[in-house]
Amino acid sequence: MIPKILIIDDEEHMCWALERAMRQEGYQALSANRGRQGLDIIREEAPSLVLLDLKMPEMDGLEVLKKIKEMCPKLPVIMLTAHGTIETAIEAMKEGASDYITKPFDLDELKLVIKQNLVMSQLVTEVNFLRSELAKKYKMMVGESPAIKQVTKLIEKVANSNATVLITGESGTGKEVAAVAIQRNSPRRDGPFVPVNCAALPDNLLESELFGHEKGAFTGAVARKLGRFELADKGTIFLDEIAEMPLNMQVKLLRVLQEKSFERVGGTETLHVDVRVIAATNRNLAEAMSKGLFREDLYYRLNVVQINLPPLRDRKEDIPILANHFLEKLRPNYFVNKFSPEAIRLLTQYNWPGNIRELQNVVERAAIICHGNEITPEDLPIEIQEISEGYEMGSVVRIPENGISLEDLEKELIIKALEKSKGNQTRAAQLLGITRSALLYRVQKHGIVLS
């Protein structure tokens, strides 16, 4: 698109000369001899940049500038001013002018100033567009189920606050995705997002990773290292698997949450940071507290706002949406563009013990091995294909007139699942939509002998 330059100057010969120069540079050019006429042209033509004379009758340049900024706050305006009115030009800069140039001016200098301001305006437009697209990307979790809509609303509400957030849910439910969504929609969106997996770091390194260390603090500390809290200053730190943090580190984390300060390992300087903390866990923290594995005071510090992510089996209407979402992301690398209806039916009926992460992996696997442009049941893992050999959901149980015993039914289902999985406990648990530990508990409760 060719930039459109508007010249507002009461001297007709100046307007003519500048219009001619702008056209020679390849720009479109418009001109006005009065401020109000220039404002009308801005409304009708939406110029890319305005050259505005400071001294004009009826309405001077400052007044016109203020009106322009009310109408189009981001429109670049370059003031044209005489030598004796530079102070006024500076005042115009305070009112929102992008630049000023003094009369008589060198035409090459004016062209350079115009080019610089057009480039800057384009960059600002592109950055704002990218920010808006990024905000859209993280505006909500993928899905249309009531459960995920409720999570989305809570994320939108908590994002604008500075509150500490605790995200709970089974492994693979998207806890880090939710944390990123909070950060991207918060006033800290331009600050860093620093994730830390508390379970992936050895106890003796976790303190150094979180708070940094000074040179010589311990063997191997050959230089000062900044910790994750320092790196997250003015942004957000995401403490994943917080329940795995050892008790001695929980005490130190509690102090940071309370006082917003800490010392590097081996250091004496107290550092202050402005960091929002988002924590996540797939464990039951109430149970961990009762066993003395998690501090109660830290729990209440972290649990200002809790967001519980539902397992995928509780939002089955989102499975087709998520599957197509993952497939869309894979399209640049694979030639697959859709699922067959039968494949979608099987994906929807499967219980997904690994939740969204498992679904994403299954979609990628299917895209890799698919021979056509449509994913069919044959492209899905065997445990999902087996659903078609079993029974339809909703028609599993027939209740007789004289009633049925839930205990006996549960025992029978467990035995059948173990038979179908040929004694594979993990697979039997998947067939029943429960964890392996839950299966073993029920096996013991019913006195089932494992082969």
- pLDDT above 70 (res 289): yes
Tell me whether the CATH fold assigned to 4-133 matches the one assigned to 146-308: yes
Q: To which H or E segment does residue 43 belong?
A: helix 35-45
Tokens of 427: 């697979």
What pLDDT band is residue 64 in, cutting at 50, 70 and 90? very high
Indicate the fold that domain 314-389 takes in CATH. Helicase, Ruva Protein; domain 3 (1.10.8)
In this structure, CATH architecture of domain 406-446: Orthogonal Bundle (1.10)
For the beta carbon of residue 267, count every other beta carbon within 10 angstroms: 16
| Paired residues of 230 in beta bridges | none
Residue 260's closest CA among 164, 369, 392, 145?
A: 164
User: CA 348 to CA 201: how far, in whole Å?
Assistant: 36
Q: Residue 381 class from Cβ within 10 Å (0-12 exposed, 13-18 middle, 19+ buried)?
A: middle
Quote the pTM value.
0.60
Which homologous superfamily does the CATH classification assign to the domain defined by 146-308?
P-loop containing nucleotide triphosphate hydrolases (3.40.50.300)
Q: Where are the alpha helices (DSSP H) in 235-354?
A: 247-259, 285-290, 296-302, 319-330, 341-349
What is the reported pLDDT for 395? 44
Phi, psi of 26 (to 5 degrees): 95, 10
Q: What angle do CA 239, 241, 247 make, to 5 degrees?
A: 85
Domain residue spans of the chain: 4-133, 146-308, 314-389, 406-446
Of 29, 32, 86, nearest to 59 (Cα)?
32
Q: Is the pLDDT of residue 187 over 50?
A: yes
Give the whole-angstrom CA distance, residue 214 versus residue 221.
7
Tokens 């809790």 label which residue?
306
Q: Report the pLDDT value the prediction gives residue 371, as an integer from 0 to 100.
A: 85
- Quick one: CA dihedral 367, 373, 379, 385, positive or negative? positive
Q: What share of the chain has pLDDT > 70, as a percent? A: 93
Per-residue pLDDT band at 204 (split at 50, 70, 90):
confident
Kindly state the DSSP code that residue 96 receives in the 8-state scheme.
Answer: T
Report the 10 Å Cβ neighbour count for 399.
8
- For residue range 339-398, list pLDDT tens digits in order: 999 999 999 999 999 999 999 999 999 999 998 889 999 999 988 987 754 444 444 455
Per the CATH hierarchy, to which homologous superfamily does domain 4-133 belong?
Response regulator (3.40.50.2300)
In 3D space, the residue among 100, 173, 95, 136 whose CA is nearest the CA of residue 356 turns out to be 173
